[in-house]
Structure 1
Amino acid sequence: MPTLDLTVSALELTRAICDIPSVSDDETTLADAIHAAISAYAHLHVERDGDTIIARTRLGRAQRVAIAGHIDTVPINANLPTRDMEIDGEAYLWGRGTVDMKAGVAVQLKLAAELVAPRVDLTWIWYDHEEVDSDRNALTRLVETRPDLFQADFAILGEPSNGHVEGGCNGTLRAVVRTRGVRAHSARSWIGENAIHKAAPILARLAEYRTRDLEVDGLVYREGLNAVGIRGGIAGNVIPDLCEVEVNYRFAPKRSGEEAAAHVRDVFAGFDVEIVDVAPGARPGLDAPLAQEFLAAVGAEPRPKYGWTDVARFSQLGVPAVNYGPGDPHLAHHDEERVPVAQIEDVERGLRAWLTAP
């Protein structure tokens, strides 16, 4: 079994974690290594739930903060093992998981091991299956089976944010918009009705759709509605009787899931619309006292999170939460995924300063 040394630098720990492949459904080897490494620290109460590792302090502090990060990645595409690289004089660590989000996990593991007496009690959560359907996400399970793990006054997700603090997150909705026709031989196409041709107005509405910017608690979130897939066709000589366009709506956290669904149905009025998945976003939560203290300690100007992250799970439980981690979100899942070394160091420094402040 691979071993992890939590006394090395956060950069070297990032390299070690990334070089243990952990594509969703294959996290066990990394989870074993994390469990073994963090269990060596007596100041932490360590538990394991499947491939999720939880480590908590029990210092009797007046406040508790949850800090979490997922350990799985999207599939590898010839981008492991990691390697060092330099671009315009800046040092990077290149490879799958460096951005999303093993650099953040490495910082968390190092601090969990070293901070014996932080200013608040801490619940560290390193969890599996974030990169797949929401119902398989380990936090979905733990919210139901271990709600005590989410009892906190503030939460931080180590999702990549370029070392800035990103408040809340957009919601996300997936829908399938269908058209139906009549099958026929393509040599006599006039006998049938082509369902793919009928989908043209759907694509036209998407092409004409304009993104909207909405302010929520001082941060401006950008919404968007896009086709992400299209399915149709039976054979090369058959007029198709069904076409399905899958769309993804990213909506500001001031909207509920029901409001988002109503908007999508309105955009595609006259078509068969099925909402297949919806996850509401999270308001920034930056007015919470701990959030204000955190912002001051790390010296960061808050920004909105355009993508959906697990801060929404904490927000729905009444726990204000932010994203704070190294790496450019634009490079998450990219084959050229790479994290600036300086951002790893900056995020470690910022978290350490806040968690040890008198």
Structure 2
Amino acid sequence: MTLDLSADPIALTAALVDIPSESLDEKVIADLVEQALREQTRGFEVVRHGNVVLARTNLGRPERVILAGHLDTVPIADNVPSRFERDAAGEQVLYGCGTVDMKSGDAVFLHLAATIADPVHDLTLIFYDGEEIAAVHNGLGHIERDLPQWLEGDLAILGEPSGGWIEAGCQGTLRARIGTAGVRAHSARSWKGDNAIHQLAPILARLADYRAREVDIDGCGYREGLSAVRIAGGVAGNVIPDAAELDVNFRFAPDRSVEQAIAHVREVFDGLEVDFEITDSAPGALPGLTAPAAKGLIDSVNSHGGGGIRAKYGWTDVSRFAARGIPAVNFGPGDPNLAHKRDEHCPTAQITAVTAMLRTYLTGA
């Protein structure tokens, strides 16, 4: 099998979807992407690092744009091979695992690399593995560690599904585990014990009363959220529990650092006698839309009547670039609300539209 990068990116998306590439099983698709880039593009230096495929031009352009997309998908759910259907309005839709997250974005990047002969920016393409699982497997993180020079640029565009909108930056995230301690006793003599589950009540009350902050950054509105996401406790049906715990997730605007976010969450629960442990955290990414390279992308999207600009509420790998001082945005076909679903699908018109908007940007047309 070979990939035809010059084919319509809709057909290329279908071809990529038909290559199973669940996380940790990306070798076949990485082999095909590498082969296609070596054989069907001109002026690109191509490098393979594990199951990450990298390619870049060195034309001496004043700016470098990074196009990055992950090759892996969540587990297939009887949704491969791909299939075309018509929606209620008669528009063509492509169904299949990865049509949204994010083989349509990969197809757009690959097609443009093969069909743009004279880009106005130097280009770096990164197709990486392990994005959908634990961070230790993330291929972009491996490049950050082993080949950091490949992450240098003036703007990074991740092909994350955004419905053709520029979704700028991303929110940060942290999880905290809050534990309570009591005294175990028989439930028939409950007054002899101290119920650790009951001690969670004031914690839950503060979460219920919490009012999320909203902040505008570069014209993008971010809304924070502090939520209970897991609760555990109990020994048996006739035992007063002596331990309970609650996991809390804080999604914070990118004007906060991780340290500031942790301090805020601690402040919310100040005065309560609880154990407090941070179990996971990742910084957000500022939009960076005032950078010259970003302005060109905005102009191109506007010239095609694209979706416009909005904040990215979820966490994505744009954070890795922002931490290096590189403006980064999410921009690709597909509704992010359909990612990972059994009926994952993407309107083919969005694939065509995103391809046209990026072609205008990369060629200066």
TM-score (structure 1 length as normaliser): 0.94
- 1:109 matched to 2:110? The reply is yes
- 1:77-102 deviation digits (Å, cap 9, x = unpaired): 33333222322213211222111111
Question: Does residue 283 in structure 1 map to residue 296 in structure 2?
Answer: no
CA deviation string 1:90-131 (max 9, x = no partner): 321122211111110111111112223211110000111112
Distance of 1:268 and 1:205 partners within structure 2: 7
Per the alignment, residue 51 of structure 1 pairs with 51
Give yes or no for contact 2:63–2:293 (8 Å, CA) kept in 1.
Answer: no
Distance across 2 between alignment mates of 1:5 and 1:234: 59
Give the Å deviation of 1:253. Answer: 0.8
Query: What CA distance in whole angstroms lies between the structure 1 residues aligned with 2:2 and 2:234?
Result: 50
- The 1-side partners of 2:143 and 2:55 are apart by 14
Q: 1:42 deviation in Å?
A: 4.1
Flag the 1:234–1:16 CA change in 2: closer, same or farther, 3 A.
Answer: farther
SS at the partner of 1:76? coil
- Within 2, Cα distance between the matches of 1:35 and 1:125? 11
Tell me the distance in 1 between the aligned counterparts of 2:76 and 2:152. 35
Q: CA deviation at 1:236?
A: 4.3
How far has the Cα of 1:199 moved from its partner? 1.9
Q: Equivalent residue of 2:68, what SS?
A: strand
Residue type at the aligned position of 2:250: Y
Alignment of 1:261-300 (within 5 A): 261-269=262-270, 270=272, 271-299=274-302, 300=306
Q: Which residues in structure 2 correspond to 1:142-181 (within 5 Å)? A: 142-181=143-182
Residue 357 of structure 1: aligned partner: 364
* Secondary structure of the structure 1 residue equivalent to 2:153: coil
Q: Structure 1: 5+ residue runs without aligned partners?
A: none
Do 2:166 and 2:309's aligned partners in 1 also have CA atoms closer than 8 Å? Answer: yes
Query: Counterparts of 2:118 and 2:280 in 1: how far apart (Å)?
Result: 42
Q: Residues 151-200 of structure 1, C-alpha deviation per residue, up to 9 Å, x if partnerless?
A: 11111111111101111111111111111223344454443333223223
Match of 1:209 in 2: 210
Q: Aligned partners of 1:32, 1:182: CA distance in 2, in Å?
A: 59
The share of aligned pairs that are identical, in percent, is 55
- The more displaced of 142-151 and 230-239 is 230-239
Cα displacement (A) at 1:16: 1.6
Q: Single out whichever of 309-318 and 14-23 deviates more from structure 2.
A: 14-23
Q: Deviations over 1:230-272 (max 9, x none)?
A: 2233444444332222121111111111111111111222222
- Residue 73 (structure 1) shift: 1.8
Q: Secondary structure at the match of 1:126?
A: strand
Q: Which residue of 2 aligns with 1:130?
A: 131
Query: Within 5 Å, which residues of 2 pair with 1:1-358?
Result: 2-40=1-39, 41-89=41-89, 90-269=91-270, 270=272, 271-299=274-302, 300=306, 301-357=308-364
Distance in 2 separating the partners of 1:204 and 1:21: 46
Distance 2:116 2:94 in 1: 25
Question: Could you say what secondary structure the match of 1:100 adopts?
Answer: coil
Query: Which deviates the most, 181-190 or 162-171?
Result: 181-190
Structure 2: segments with no counterpart, 5+ residues: none
TM-score by length of 2: 0.92
* 1:257-294 superposed Cα distances (whole Å, 9 cap, x missing partner): 11111111112222222112211111111111111111
Residue range with higher mean Cα deviation, 138-147 or 105-114: 138-147
Change (3 A) 1:185 1:73: farther
User: Structure 2 CA distance, aligned partners of 1:28 and 1:241?
Assistant: 49
User: Residue 34 and residue 280 in structure 1: after superposition, are their counterparts in 2 closer, same or farther (change >3 A)?
Assistant: same
Is the alpha carbon distance of 1:189 and 1:79 closer, same or farther for their aligned partners in structure 2, counting shifts above 3 Å? farther
Change (3 A) 1:189 1:261: same
Find the aligned partners of 1:16 and 1:243 in 2 and give their Cα distance: 49
Distance 2:204 2:18 in 1: 42
Moved more, 238-247 or 182-191: 182-191
- Assess, with a 3 A threshold, how the Cα gap between structure 1 residues 24 and 188 changes in structure 2: closer, same or farther: farther
The amino acid of 2:105's aligned partner reads G
Q: Report how far residue 307 of structure 1 moved.
A: 1.0
How many equivalent residue pairs?
357
The Cα shift of 1:208 comes to: 2.4
- Matched-pair contact (CA < 8 Å) for 2:169–2:311: yes
**Deviations 1:12-70, CA, capped at 9 Å, x for gaps:** 11112122222222222221221222221342211111111101112222221111011
Structure 1 residue 141 displacement after superposition: 2.2
